[in-house]
Structure 1
Amino acid sequence: MNQQTKMSQNANYPFVVLGMGCFWGAEKRMLSLAGVVDVESGYANGEIDASYEAILAHERKRRMGLSELKNHVEVVKVWFDPAKTTLEQVLAQFWESHNPTQGDRQGNDVGSNYRSAIFTATEQDLPIAEASRKTYQQALDTAGFSQITTDITLLMSYTPAETYHQRYLQKNPNGYCGLGGTGVAYPSSQAFRPYPEWTLVIYGQQTAFAEDQFCNEVLKHYPLPFELRWQESASPLTLQLEQKGRPSAEFADPFSPPYTEFWRWLGHYLLTEEQHYIAFSQGTERPFCGPYLTEKRRGWFLDPLSGVPLFHSDTKFDSGTGWPSFFDVVADAVTLVKDRSHGMIRTEVRSASTGIHLGHVFEDGPAPTHLRYCINGQVLLFKHDV
């Protein structure tokens, strides 16, 4: 898709522009939210010409007292579908994904170009943004954090970032993210908790939680379908899974990408034996026997461990094969792998977040993609749109 076609499609949706530190991690974080149509890294609301090098040079001038011109903020422009999400829900993801109390910095990134900001497209959106700040401040007050420093104003100028910045972490999976939230949930966000009896307790020092790669790439990044609780401890980072408040299992290592051992460990407790076999041993459920085959409600089909949206009901169709089928997938939600098992050559579909096996994709689906994602219902969760 060329840039002109992309801009034309996005013009049909409302947007908000958000500054939350380095835009590489912010772009990936916001794109993972259900209902977000597209994101773009850029620069906003400064008083100089906008380019990456110019902004860094200008920030150095400001520190030396050589200029008082306002610098641009590294931002992500977030387009969203109002039929599938709301501005407040988008802002809930924004508040939870960074620390908005740090002034002109975010984590290790220091400078006014990294300040927290919400730039709205219309005057009508400003009260929603202000109300969301008040809501989140109350939650931060309870947790002992200081005052929010986020700049909330109308969008006055915006320039897309250079091509190499766009989808940076998709192109460079081990690249720098830089985001570190407070661990405080946005109060009005309605968390989806299909495993209500399970809680994952994180033991360690608060500074480790803010800086640890695993915490930032998994625990803070994914909309996990179970409760999380932080417990301050002098010990190295350790996870403990509790069932109905009673310890069931502990996980200490390894915490390194792609975190396969963690997901397998978690799946051992949250998934049934058959679900675990399908997810981690490339199994297949019997046709016409799995869940969601006749599910017709509007909603999202999620990864059962990370909670990441994989498919929307708008793309579901009756293929007559006996497995839930979809003609499209949420952007960047799955990976495709050549499968030569059972004497066949097929394309396996795996969840990009957890690596679990979902099913296969074939080229005999309906328009507009003509694809058929043939998925095991056992390894899906369904979240109904309210």
Structure 2
Amino acid sequence: MKQKHRWPLIALGLSTLLQAGLDSQAAQAQDLTRDPLRSGPPDPADESIVLGMGCFWGAEKRLSELPGVIDVESGYANGEIEGTYDTILAHERIRRRGASDKRNHAEVVKVRFDPRRITLEQVLVKFWESHDPTQGDRQGNDVGSNYRSAIYTNSPEQTAVAERMRAHYQAALTQAGRGTITTEIAPLSVYVRAEEEHQDYLRKNPHGYCGLGGTGIAYPGTTSDIDKAAALPSPAPLDGATLAQARQLVVFEAEDCGACQHFKAEVLDHWQSPVAVARSLSFSAPTGWTLDKPLFATPTLVLFEDGREVARYTGYDGDSGRFWAWLGLQILTPEQRRVAFEQGTERAFTGSLLDEKRPGTFVDPITGAPLFRSETKFDSGSGWPSFFNPVDGAITFHEDVSHGMRRVEVRSASSGIHLGHVFEDGPPPTKRRYCINSRVLTFVPDL
């Protein structure tokens, strides 16, 4: 935006307008005390098995929730190198360059359970349903042989059960049109407990990444080999006919996903975006709609247009600005993106909202959050929509020294997009002029 008058910006009060950025929130204290059931020496009657399901953080949490499971420990297994997190990651890079053929460890969890309360079959049902065992050396966004699907057994009897269940689950996947199971089933040869920082990771970091999505195909349990209660039916997919056909955002979640709950609390519970949103516990596309590829992690946000996936956003780490920027890049026009993300400016007197005088609210085009009310709009003669006051908390202020000028940029507090600039030549009572681009405003008339 050009200044209407080149008044000294010292009078603008930069020290009171400029804000350092988003406020950091103090992490809530977590009770990390272990359940007494999960402590103490092992009972001789306990059994254990070692399972690889990709990232061990999510695997540990999923399997620890099974009744009858005594303890779940993160570790590394069946490799030929030193068993440390950094060594394993470095060795995988070496393998990719072809500089070593030594076998890498898999990230695994060691599951100790009471066979009087839960059977091995019930533990393995959770294993099969909680990840995608058809992906080879990867699990979702985590790629490498250290993320392979694996069952490392402690006896021939465990091996027989695992192989039988693999065949049983393969039949269900084949019937559903899914691929071939790549899960390695082998005797446990090496096991190393992972570093303390990786133990109970999602209890310590409830908003952390949990890259488990499953296939959405329930294990076909029978009374002869499994308690039917352990094979819960998969949630039904959304009905595509009830959703917005032109553009629909679907949030694919899991019931025990801390990052999903975090996203809901920070974003979904305050949703005002013009984009229709729906939540799904199914890992399948809405009926009649199509996904480009299987879901790998939760939450995964998929943008559909005319029933087909056009973009996706995986995971949530508390950075809502990053999510809104992603959504804006999908839904804004090229002209809007130039203003919003490149600090562009529309030509004076060309904005579609310059002469908008109806009662209503000017909102963020991505989040739908209110920015300015129509009663604060005035004709400044500058060629851009002008306001003398924003909605409380709607904008943030940032120093701008581009183009040889010293100005105060204003951005949307909800999405972080560039809106325009503020000058001290407006009318009472604020005497400020918020000079805003039409292309980054949406007008919502009062009913």
Q: Please, what TM-score do these two structures have when normalized by structure 1?
A: 0.53
Q: 2:161 aligns with which of 128, 148, 153?
A: 128
What's the % identity of the aligned pairs? 52
Shift of residue 233, structure 1, vs aligned partner? 4.8
* Cα separation, partners in 2 of 1:212 and 1:179, compared to 1, 3 Å: same
Q: What does residue 376 of structure 1 align with?
A: none
Alpha-carbon distance in structure 2 between the residues aligned to 1:178 and 1:228: 15
Q: 1:66 aligns with which of 93, 96, 99?
A: 99
Alpha-carbon distance in structure 2 between the residues aligned to 1:161 and 1:12: 25
- Cα distance per residue 1:130-189 (max 9 Å; x no partner): 001001000000110110000000000100000010000001000011111000001115
SS of 2:76 mapped into structure 1: strand
Q: What does residue 34 of structure 1 align with?
A: 67
* AA partner of residue 117 (structure 1): A
Alpha-carbon distance in structure 2 between the residues aligned to 1:107 and 1:229: 13
Instruction: Work out whether residues 180 and 216 of structure 1, in 8 Å CA contact, stay in contact via their aligned partners in 2.
Output: no
Q: What does residue 47 of structure 1 align with?
A: 80
* AA partner of residue 60 (structure 1): R
Q: What does residue 24 of structure 1 align with?
A: 57
Shift of residue 93, structure 1, vs aligned partner? 0.5
* AA partner of residue 154 (structure 1): P
Shift of residue 91, structure 1, vs aligned partner? 0.6
RMSD, aligned α-carbons: 3.7
Instruction: Work out whether residues 99 and 180 of structure 1, in 8 Å CA contact, stay in contact via their aligned partners in 2.
Output: yes
Instruction: Work out whether residues 62 and 256 of structure 2, in 8 Å CA contact, stay in contact via their aligned partners in 1.
Output: no
Shift of residue 71, structure 1, vs aligned partner? 0.3
Shift of residue 217, structure 1, vs aligned partner? 2.4
Instruction: Work out whether residues 105 and 114 of structure 1, in 8 Å CA contact, stay in contact via their aligned partners in 2.
Output: yes
* AA partner of residue 183 (structure 1): G
Structure 2, unpaired ranges of 5+:
1-33, 244-248, 262-280, 291-300, 304-315, 318-447
Q: What does residue 217 of structure 1 align with?
A: 257
Residues 1:232 and 2:265 are matched in the alignment: no
* Cα separation, partners in 2 of 1:228 and 1:213, compared to 1, 3 Å: closer
Q: How many residues align?
A: 228
- Greater CA radius of gyration, 1 or 2? 2
Residues 1:114 and 2:126 are matched in the alignment: no
1:1-386 alignment runs, 5 A limit: 6=39, 8-9=41-42, 12-188=45-221, 190-192=227-229, 200-203=236-239, 212-214=252-254, 217=257, 230=284, 231-234=286-289
Alpha-carbon distance in structure 1 between the residues aligned to 2:256 and 2:63: 14
Alpha-carbon distance in structure 2 between the residues aligned to 1:181 and 1:162: 26
Instruction: Work out whether residues 18 and 75 of structure 1, in 8 Å CA contact, stay in contact via their aligned partners in 2.
Output: yes
Alpha-carbon distance in structure 2 between the residues aligned to 1:39 and 1:232: 37
- Cα distance per residue 1:303-334 (max 9 Å; x no partner): xxxxxxxxxxxxxxxxxxxxxxxxxxxxxxxx
Alpha-carbon distance in structure 1 between the residues aligned to 2:255 and 2:239: 11
Instruction: Work out whether residues 71 and 113 of structure 1, in 8 Å CA contact, stay in contact via their aligned partners in 2.
Output: yes
Alpha-carbon distance in structure 2 between the residues aligned to 1:99 and 1:136: 11
Alpha-carbon distance in structure 2 between the residues aligned to 1:171 and 1:35: 22
Alpha-carbon distance in structure 1 between the residues aligned to 2:141 and 2:148: 12
* Cα separation, partners in 2 of 1:237 and 1:105, compared to 1, 3 Å: closer
Structure 1, unpaired ranges of 5+:
222-226, 239-255, 258-386
Shift of residue 32, structure 1, vs aligned partner? 1.0
Shift of residue 202, structure 1, vs aligned partner? 2.9
Instruction: Work out whether residues 136 and 183 of structure 2, in 8 Å CA contact, stay in contact via their aligned partners in 1.
Output: yes
- Cα distance per residue 1:206-225 (max 9 Å; x no partner): xx98x83457729x99xxxx
* AA partner of residue 136 (structure 1): Y
* Cα separation, partners in 2 of 1:173 and 1:86, compared to 1, 3 Å: same
- Cα distance per residue 1:191-237 (max 9 Å; x no partner): 449x99xx7543479xx98x83457729x99xxxxx97954354987
Instruction: Work out whether residues 213 and 283 of structure 2, in 8 Å CA contact, stay in contact via their aligned partners in 1.
Output: no
Q: What does residue 323 of structure 1 align with?
A: none
SS of 2:186 mapped into structure 1: strand
